[in-house]
Structure formats: C-alpha cells, structure tokens
Structure 1
Amino acid sequence: MAKQRAPHLVVFTGAGISAESGIQTFRASDGLWADHAIEDVATPEAWRRDPERVLRFYDMRRDQVRRARPNPAHQALASLERRGFRVSIITQNIDDLHERAGSRQVLHLHGEILKARSSVDPRMHYPLPRGGISLGDLCDKGSQLRPDVVWFGEAVPHFVEACEVAAEADLLLVVGTSLAVMPAASLLDHAPLDAPCVLVDPDAQVLAPPGVARLNQSAGQGVPALVRHWQREGRLWLPETLLG
C-alpha cells in the first residue's frame, strides 16, 4: 500500500510576523524606516547615487535582525514541521527568524539581509555571520559587494519557484501581510482551487480578498492556535470556532 502523503502547508509571511519580534519595517503610510525614505536607501538609483549611505542603512537593519528573536508564530510553524507535516514557507521578509526557529524549507522572495552578493553577478552570495559591508569589499569578480536584498524596482528572482511551491499546497496560510506588494500578492492565484486559504492578521477582516478565511489576530496569537488544532487532528483544516 502506498504511503500516505504528508499534508502540505504553504505559509506566506510578511512584515507583520517579524514586527512581533521587534523588527521595524517600512511603514506603509509614509515609506519611512528610522527616518529614511525608501527612494534614498532601497532602490537601484540610491545605490548608484550614494552606495555608502545604502550600506550604512543596511548595516543598521542587520544589527536589528541579529538582536531579534523568533516569536511564537515562528516557533509554532517549526513545531508543526517537526510533527511530520510538510511545511514550506515563502517569506517577503529578509530576516532569518524562520530558520532560527527551526524551519527548514524557507524561500526568501526579497533576499536575505545576513548575506552579501556581487553587484555584477547575482548568483554570487557571501554569508555575513558578523559585521557588515563596507565600500571596497569585493566579490570574487572584483565588483563591490551589495546587500542581498531585492530593492524597489528590481525583479523578484525566486517568484517562479514560489509559484511552483504554492501550486502544491493543501492549505495556504498567509500571515502578517497586507497582500498589497506585487508580484508577491499574486501567489494566492497559484494555489490549487480546492486548497483553503486563511489570512492571519489583526486587520484580516479588511485585508482578506474574497474566498479567503479570516483570523483577526496577531501572528503570535493566531498561528499557534491554528497549529494546535492541526496537531491534534493530524490534518489541515480551518476550525470555524477560530475564524472571524
């Protein structure tokens, strides 16, 4: 008899899950992060105009990520994987909190802040276990290293791979994202038509598109509650008692 396939949970996470670990993000209302405008620090034009300023900015963000710790939402997802569920995480976040919690299948759509990459060959990555990037730090091809992040106006290199992962979902869990950033928000369109989808967010009632279930709680509350249900049942389902 064929072995039963483990249920596959595909998780799509955004800034809201990291914010609960104290990681500050660009505020949607004014596009500022610690008084820095997006166009000054997070675009290819900013890099060409003032690379030193961009490097200083990402060094500051990198320090914040290193100080942060995984929260109950990160930990719950990792525990579900340890219980035998197949869990694939697609994240818009550039931190490593999912990995530090113990999740093994994590796809970073917008890059990883704890890595540098070549400014001429995006395939060349360099881990940054400590410290940051300075002007004069070069890749093996002799080009200046830059943060391994996708800036506004740049292509999302792993988007096709993310769509392929979403297409294999038994259930799609969306956590802490407004579903406003494209093309990432269109991932929902690639999930199977019969795969339930739920959005966990304090504003889920407003943000969730038609057909998406809503859990109006923070990531740290809602995700562990769902995981407890799935672990008890041994299957992925959406309990009506939890949903708004």
Structure 2
Amino acid sequence: MTTVRTLIYVAVVRHWPLYQMDVKNAFLNGHLTEEAAVTKLGFHPSAFNSALFLRHTSTGFIALLLYVDDMITTSSDSSAISEAKYANEVIHCAGLADIKVSNALIKLNVKLNSTDGIPLDDPTFYCELVGCLVYLTVTCPNLAYAVRVVSKFVSTHRSIHWAALVCILRYLRGTIFLGLLLSSTSSLDLVAYVDSDWAGDINDRKSTFSFYMFLGDSLIS
C-alpha cells in the first residue's frame, strides 16, 4: 500500500489523471491456459515494485499499478483517501453506533498482558473486529499502534483486551470522516522519522519500533 499511496500522491502533485478499474470476476477465473502478461501491451515491470508496470511513450509514460484485482483512482487536484463507509459498518457491526466518542485511541502507558481479565464468551467476534481494524490502517495509519496492541491477543483475548478494542472503536467513531490528505502544492521530498522504546513490552520484553515516512506533506507509510 505504500506504493499505492506514493503513486496517487505523485499524480496529484504532477496533475496526472489516473483512472480506476475493478475486475469483479477476477476470482472466478483462477486457472488460465494461456499466457497473460501486461508486457504484451507495452508495459514493463518496475525494478522497484512487482505490482508497478510502466509504459514509455513519445510524450512521457503510463504507470499501471495493480492491487489484487484493483487499479488506482485519483484526481487532478488535492485528494483525500478515506474509508468512512467501511469504518461506519465496522462500528455498527460492533453495536457501538450510539456510544460516546473518545479522544484517545488507547490509555496512556497501558500495559496489557494475556492473563488479566475474564475470558470472552465470543472470541471469534473479537478476532473479526481486529481484522477489520487492521484493514482500516491502510487509510487510517494513526490507528496502527493501538491496533497492533489488541491484535497481539487474538488467541488469548480477555475482557481487558475487549475494553481496549472498544476504546479504539470509540475513537474511530469520532474521527470517521478523517483520512489521508494528498496535497497538490507540496514538494516531493522524502522525509522519515523513527523512534523506539526500550524493552517496553511486558510480555516478551521486546522494544516497540515506530516510523513515519512522508513524501512532501503526505504520509505514505
């Protein structure tokens, strides 16, 4: 997804029009007897990403980025990527449509372990909601750390882990229309920030590592 966000952002800055296509029946034709390759259309795979294909023309080039059965969509102006509809469905699925919103994703300095709390009656539901949140981190990277915390307990989920999951969903409900803004006026300079704690995990004593990569003003990874 880093390549997807990067290509959309570069297209926005350069004012390149891109289009989107979804192959609805891609999974109905899993077995091919003939060779299928975009190189026959003049595209050649990029040396940087196997999902990115380039076709050079007399006036420039065409970039084709495949993500499973989807291609990319963008505009010729500043653009935003969000999953508001999907996030709303997740919140309703959890039965939290009317719950009070939260300003925090997770309690400060929270240290969850696998033994505190009471085992959940429906562990499958917990796992499904965590999976939905993992998907949402594509367009909501601010969820990444908190989702990582609750995803560590998908096999040992207890009441304290459910409370942490509910806190994330309450935060999501209050920020449901926020997304990644891709500015058309900033530079294409690549900047990275990185940090880590020291043996901060109380379960395995490992360090937690984090990073942010910006292309201009836009977060891509």
Structure of greater Rg: 2
TM over 0.5, shorter chain? no
TM-score range (shorter-chain normalised) is under 0.3
TM-score with structure 1 setting the length:
0.26
